[in-house]
Chain A
Amino acid sequence: MEDLKTYAEVTWCPGCGNFGIFTAIRNAIPLLEQRGIKRENIVMTAGIGCHAKMFDYLNLSGIYSLHGREITTASGFKISNPNLKVITFSGDGSGLGEGLAHTLFAAKRNMDITMILHNNGVYALTTGQFSPLTQEGWKGPSTPKGSFEIPFNPISLLIEVGATFVARCYAGEVKHLTNTLVKAIEHEGFSFIEILQPAMPYHKWEEFKDNIEYIDNNGKSKDEVLKIARQAHRFTIGIFYQEIREVYHKSLYGSFNPVKNSMSREKRLEKINLILKP
């Protein structure tokens, strides 16, 4: 299946922002292959929600994980076989609601995975409840009078807790998204991309298109970037932050690979006998 599609029937609503993301990731993978990353080394996880249908459609290996746990499943891949390039598809509900702690810890650890956060600002699959990224006043089935919680700012939040590549993209700018995906996946460390996307029953493309702007200047220090991220309009796209920091698995065991270098039975038993010597 050369176009990276499975036989699964695509069930996103017509015109959904997820199509743009699907196209971008299928464009990004051949580019990564050209740059020396083997396709069989790319593995993925997905949470549960509209974003996660990606798992069924994209012809890559991985685990269709539980709601919110996609980040931990992905961490399990990387820790066990660091040769793998790990991508986790997540949503605003999955990654910043149910799985918020996991997202923050993966960033804190600088786990070498790429988290693609489909931000449609709503719990679409469960009929339109407000999400951790929904703007105040959202009238969904769980907030008939309008939501009254303030949304997270995922960009400043993730920079603050330790992500080493933080970007925002837009599902309607596929070329920019593709290039950013390539950079994020190539980045060694925890890379986070928030992708703005409309969910068709709830939004119009115009609400996004008309407001999208690119970041014009990058901060030099983390503090400066945080300031920019806090002040930026929520439709501001681009790479906000990138830094080099030791990744989790290297701090844990250096250049070891638990799966590839797994010790033989004989050697293990020999060493156990040593431990059990009175």
Chain B
Amino acid sequence: MVNDIFTFLVGGKAGEGVKKAGSVAAHIFASIGQRVFQMDDYMSLIRGGHNFSIVSTSTRWISSYYMKADLLVNFDKRSCETHINDLADGGLIIYNSDELEDVDGVGIPFSSEAEKYPMKNLMYGVGAVAILASAIGFKKEQMNESIKNQYPRGIEDNVKFANTIYDMVKGGCQGKFLLTKGEKVRPIITGNESISLGAIAGGLDTYFGYPMTPASSILHFLAKQTENFGLAVVHAESELAVINMAIGSTFTGARSMVGTSGGGFALMTEGISLAGITEAPILIVLSQRPGPATGVPTYTEQADLSFALSAGHGDFLRIVASPGTIEDSYYLTAEMLDLVWKFQTPGILLTEKHLSECSMTIDIDVDKAKWAKPKMYQGENYKRYHNAEDGISPMLFPPSKEVIKWNSYEHDEFGVTTENAEMIAKMHDKRNKKLKALVEYLKSQYTVNIIRGEMNTNLFAYGSTYMSVLEALRYGGLNPTIVQPIFLSPLPTWELAEFKNQDNIVIEQSSTGQFTTLLKEKARLKIRTTIKKYDGRPFDPIELSKKIKEVLQ
């Protein structure tokens, strides 16, 4: 085992319950009070191919999976060949003896055993859970309990199959990786679930989406929660419809959010610009995947940062922030919802596939979420775009005796179209005042996460890369200062000023170093070097710690 961490990897074809087996493993670890980090690696297909799920667990907080697995369960030849080098020292390979022989590990005839059951494809995952149960020293009763809870369809067959595999794997596997009981049983959620719950806590009323990996699971989660929380969740015809419906929704006073990835976000930019001039409080979740264009749909990258910072034509205030952990996603989504309503402008919650779709055990203080509430207008003769001191015009929603006009054309204070030179400039100034007000407000907020270290070098990372960096440093026993800007627009330069001329290193998942450029240009930071990864895969803590060590010399 790597330090005090146990890693379980299960791999096979899509449709064999790989992801589910990973998720059941995560729940088993969590049920004994361990901390968990789970990552699913899957291809953009429905059946076949090669998928794997990898779960690392420890009694301490863990913020990444490890690619070196202690227990490696492969349902087919391809998986075994793919992962043969992913075995940790002292680890154990379980392979499908119907497809392979002469592997240094324990062979299980998965195919011929599964063949005996009507739901044969789904039995593989159950088998993986049985192997895990044996390896971590679960008694049969304990295993059967987990199987019954996690695989409610066809319980009898599942339990029977699990017991067969459990008996088969005994020699060489049973009790090989006994785990310590942790101090507390915690829930496991994905980043997208955390974002969704944060939005609900912040006051979400309506959500609009068009399916696009890796943001789709927000749409799915919220659609399921419609009745529970009294939401309207709509799957519209395109991202163009999505963003414009959401803007229409905010006009009625509904707190609305949309979610998408690169290409869908590109379509939304027209509407983001509309939100800029109409001053619509709209929150957009942008979950990045490798681009350009369709790119690599089910993998991760951080290459939409510069696009997000300037999304939409024209001058207007965009708030962009990125959560560093799954837990922070909850608070930050609620905070962003609050901010877009406070400042009546579009906000982008920037994240990645890695955060969106990974699962973690979490400790969330639910009550700490912010609550979005606009500044409301009292009285008569309402003017939607009243030129207030801070640029923030109080709001009113229909039905109202007052006439409320939001306008995509440049407009006067009432909201009627204008081409008057003086008015055009005045309205630009009015909207620009909101940036000043926002910066003043953010100065009192937690905008940059700084973990002070004892070395002379500072590591900069944003988004889910922060989790990878933390784990790499822990693995490598390194303690430089870590700086994780949560807000990227406006970039909290007031917090970053102290690092200007220090030794700074950036770690990011962009081939051109977009985050590095941002720090150089906006915060005037000297950056010695950037550690990049842009193959669609997240950083592995062991590899990353080596790279960090190299540059720390």
Which A residues fall within an 8 A CB radius of B?
6-8, 38, 40-41, 43, 45, 48, 53, 55-56, 59-66, 69, 72-77, 79-81, 83-84, 101-102, 105, 249, 252-253, 256, 258-259, 261-263, 265, 268-269, 271-273, 275-278
Contact = CB atoms under 8 A, between A and B. Distances in A.
Contact of A252 (B197, B232, B249, B407): B232
A261 B231 CA distance: 9
Contacts of A269: 201, 366-367, 369
Interface string B400-424: 1111111111010011110000000
Given A40-B399, A63-B248, A265-B203, 4 more contacts: A41-B398, A64-B411, A66-B270, A276-B187
A66 B364 contact: no
A61 B416 contact: no
A196 B81 CA distance: 69
Interface string B165-205: 00000000000000000000111110000000100110101
Contacts of A66: 244, 270-271, 274, 408
Nearest to B407: A64
B245 A72 contact: yes
Nearest to A104: B237
Given A258-B206, A258-B231, A41 B399 contact: yes
Contacts of A56: 416-417
A260 to B, nearest CB: 10
Contact of A80 (B203, B232, B400, B415): B232
Contact of B256 (A38, A53, A80, A101): A80
A276 B330 CA distance: 12
Given A66-B408, A75-B248, A8 B416 contact: yes
B245 A277 contact: no
Top 7 nearest A-B pairs (CB, nearest first) are A76-B248, A72-B244, A76-B245, A73-B248, A80-B254, A40-B399, A69-B244
Nearest to B409: A64
Contacts, number: 190
A5 B355 CA distance: 52
B251 interface: yes
Given A6-B416, A276-B187, A72 B201 contact: no
Interface string B244-261: 111111111111100000
B244 to A, nearest CB: 4
B206 A277 contact: no
Contacts of B405: 55, 61-64
Contact of A258 (B230, B251, B401, B407): B230
Contacts of A62: 251, 404-406
B240 interface: yes
B307 interface: no
A45 B404 contact: no
Contacts of B511: none
B228 interface: yes
A66 B404 CA distance: 17
Interface of B: 30-31, 185-189, 197, 200-201, 203, 205-206, 208, 226-232, 234, 236-238, 240-241, 244-256, 270-271, 274, 278, 362, 364, 366-367, 369, 371, 397-409, 411, 414-417
A77 to B, nearest CB: 5
B245 A75 contact: yes
A65 B232 contact: no
Of A75, A76, A258, A261, which is in contact with the most chain B CB atoms at under 10 Å from its CB? A76
A117 B448 CA distance: 51
Contact of B404 (A61, A83, A265, A278): A61
Given A43-B398, A73-B247, A79 B232 contact: yes
A48 B270 CA distance: 14
Given A79-B206, A252-B234, A259-B253, A59 B403 contact: yes
A79 B249 contact: yes
A59 B414 CA distance: 11
Contact of B248 (A72, A253, A271): A72
Contacts of B236: 72, 105
A80 B206 contact: yes
B232 A253 contact: yes
A272 B334 CA distance: 13
Contact of A271 (B229, B254, B399, B407): B229
Contacts of B187: 275-278
A261 B230 contact: yes
Of A56, A64, A73, which is in contact with the most chain B CB atoms at under 10 Å from its CB? A73
A121 B233 CA distance: 37
A261 B226 CA distance: 13
B284 to A, nearest CB: 15
A265 B201 CA distance: 7
Given A62-B406, A63-B408, A80-B254, A268 B229 contact: yes
A272 B222 CA distance: 12
A7 B416 CA distance: 9
Nearest to B330: A272
Contacts of A38: 399
26 contacts: A38-B399, A40-B398, A40-B400, A43-B251, A63-B247, A63-B278, A69-B240, A69-B270, A72-B244, A73-B244, A73-B251, A76-B247, A76-B249, A77-B252, A79-B234, A79-B249, A80-B249, A80-B254, A105-B237, A249-B232, A258-B205, A261-B230, A262-B205, A265-B201, A269-B201, A272-B201
A63 B230 contact: no
Contacts of A8: 416-417
Of B187, B240, B397, which is in contact with the most chain A CB atoms at under 10 Å from its CB? B240
A72 B362 CA distance: 38
Contact of B403 (A60, A77, A252, A262): A60
Contacts of B397: 259
Of A249, A265, A273, A278, which is in contact with the most chain B CB atoms at under 10 Å from its CB? A278
A72 B270 CA distance: 13
Nearest to B406: A63
A73 B400 CA distance: 19
Nearest to B231: A258
A127 to B, nearest CB: 17
B408 A64 contact: yes
B232 A278 contact: no
Given A40-B400, A80-B252, A278-B186, A73 B237 contact: no
A271 B247 contact: no
A69 B271 contact: yes
Nearest to A47: B408
A278 B185 contact: yes
